[in-house]
Amino acid sequence: MASDQSGPYQVAVGQVQRVGGMLGLDQGMIDLLSRPKRELTVNFPVTMDDGTIKVFTGFRVQHNFARGPCKGGIRYHPALTLDEVRALAMWMTWKCATVGLPYGGAKGGVICDPKRMSPGELERMTRRYASEIMPIIGPHVDIPAPDMYTNAQVMAWIMDTYSMNVGYSVPGIVTGKPIPLGGSKGREEATSRGLMYCVREAMAVEGLKRAGATAVVQGFGNVGWNAARLLKDELGLTITALSDSSGAILDKAGLDPVSVYEHKQRTGSVLGYPGATEISNEDLLEMECTVLVPAAMENAITSANADRVKARIVAEGANGPTTPEADLVLDEKGIMLIPDVLCNAGGVTVSYFEWVQDLQFHFWSNAQIRDRLNEIMTYAFARVYATAGAKEVDMRTAAYLLAVGEVVQATKLRGIYP
């Protein structure tokens, strides 16, 4: 079994091996599911604002095509590794299968520090990266989307670069685009809205009343701040603590996520918010609360701190925020963990909606988006929860049993070519 010190890909492979054994899969099938189908590494030059040339390294990994074209985000981060991208691509396969989307998983990114780059440098780097991975992406092959430190503008540049190369507009090449370019309504809050629906269902099955319930959110990027807003506005939870990379703030009487977001936009940090007490990110994770939302980086909850987590529900807004060893501790404590492959699948679900709309050139209303997302997330939660009960396993294992089973079934039905 993978440990807290394992790399993300080692963790992902360990999960497949464990679930494969539970499903009685032969070693050949486990090996097939444990390895990416295709991975591309590109090294490419970009002219910087000062006239110098800098060489960047980028990746695009496609894990599995059994259930349809690949789908997955592109992240820009100085510490990005191929190992991480492989793991994220594999997790995307299981995420899509968990919520019933006709996709396999992919992931990509560039090793860079976007905070130290100008808009012009980001655009030139993005367009060159898009050109480098263009041979293996396409609206029926692999559809990128935003991820860490990428956004709708980055997707617009990729869409334009691809379209200019083929000679006509291809809005379906990426999702998470601006609405004027074929983006979908509801996409910006989609991951958080899906998380909120999962929390709503989890509180119901756990018999937890919303009145007096509290939530703590680690990470105040797009997922974290929207999750805090929706948990407060639509479920009525009191948000007692929030954090970003600079630190955390606490107000047991309740924080207003919108006001904190506006403060962060002005100052660059949640710290210094009027009336709040500053605490550490470590203290935030260990606060007593109804719902804890880790929505920052991987490995936030480990064997070192899992026994001090006091939440009733852990809703994974980030990918891989809980290590395998911590999973065991939380399960022993009776804490319900809503795994990332279910909890944050709202983003890829609305990306699927966007892709369908782009292929049809027919667009849906915000109400239609929310209704369809609610239906898919509610059904997926019920299915995972029922499997957890029937198999007497935790929610993550239940989700993996369902997801891996779906991919195996598709693989066997298609057969091995030639």
The residues assigned a catalytic role are 107
- Six token digits for residue 107: 């992931």
Residue 35: CB atoms within 10 A of its CB come to 14
How distant is the alpha carbon of residue 380 from its chain centre? 16
Residue 66: CB atoms within 10 A of its CB come to 20
For residue 166, which of 194, 135, 140, 193 has the smallest C-alpha distance?
Answer: 135
Work out whether the CA dihedral 125, 130, 131, 135 comes out positive or negative. Answer: positive
Sheet holding 142-146, edge to edge: 38-47, 53-62, 104-111, 70-77, 142-146
The percent helix, strand, coil of the chain (3-state, each to 5) is: 50, 15, 35
Residue type, 15: Q
Please provide the size of the chain in residues: 418
**Omega before 418 within 30 of 0, i.e. cis:** yes
For residue 152, which of 193, 114, 180 has the smallest C-alpha distance?
Answer: 180
Rounded Cα distance between 80 and 298, Å, is 12
Q: Which long-range contacts (CB under 8 A, 24 or more apart) does 55-59 make?
A: 56/110, 56/111, 56/112, 56/125, 56/128, 56/129, 57/110, 57/111, 58/108, 58/109, 58/110, 58/111, 58/129, 58/132, 58/133, 59/85, 59/107, 59/108, 59/109, 59/110
Rounded Cα distance between 250 and 275, Å, is 9
| Owner of token pair 């090996």 | 31
Cα atoms in the 13 Å half-sphere on the side-chain side of 168: 1
Work out whether the CA dihedral 304, 310, 313, 317 comes out positive or negative. Answer: negative
Q: Can you name the residues that pair with 9 across neighbouring β-strands?
A: none
